[in-house]
Amino acid sequence: MEEKLGHVLILEDEYLIAFDLAEAFEKYGAMIVGPFASLASARAAIENTPELDGAVIDINLRGELSFPIAEMLRERHVPFIFTSGYDQLAIPSSLCQVPLVAKPADAGEVAGLLANLIGKGRPTLQ
């Protein structure tokens, strides 16, 4: 039986990018949590979603940096990826081991990378 990505949180403030990511993850069997465009909504979702398997988070959400959400995910041992136009130097040293995918990113490649982080390999399209 093919493994699914599980519950994947998307934190992205650009609608088209969020839509593309959600669509790509759904093709790989993910159940999307979000997408969310603010730290407050993402924080509430993390607190209220007991089964969270992975996440993709944009670093800058309309001027708010998403590092507090990244720390929450790390504390809960949820694998995640940053997406951003920023480079690696913008990421605090405590989070420097988190993969960073530069925008514009191919949504399918992001899904494959997250699948590897979750530990399920790259699932095949259905």
Residue 71 in this model has a pLDDT that exceeds 70: yes
Q: Is residue 101 part of a domain?
A: yes
Please tell me the pTM assigned to this model: 0.87
CA distance 35 to 26: 12
Question: Residue 33 sits in which domain range?
Answer: 6-118
Q: Which CATH number characterizes residue 97's domain?
A: 3.40.50.2300
Q: Is residue 89 part of a domain?
A: yes
Residue 2 in this model has a pLDDT that exceeds 50: no
What are the φ and ψ backbone dihedral angles of 2, each rounded to 5 degrees? -70, 135
CA nearest to 87, candidates 49, 64, 65, 59: 59
Look at the chain and report how many structural domains it folds into. Answer: 1
Q: Is residue 52 part of a domain?
A: yes
Q: Is residue 123 part of a domain?
A: no
pLDDT, position 126: 40
Beta strands in the chain (DSSP E): 6-11, 30-36, 54-58, 60-61, 64-65, 80-84, 100-102
Q: Is residue 125 part of a domain?
A: no
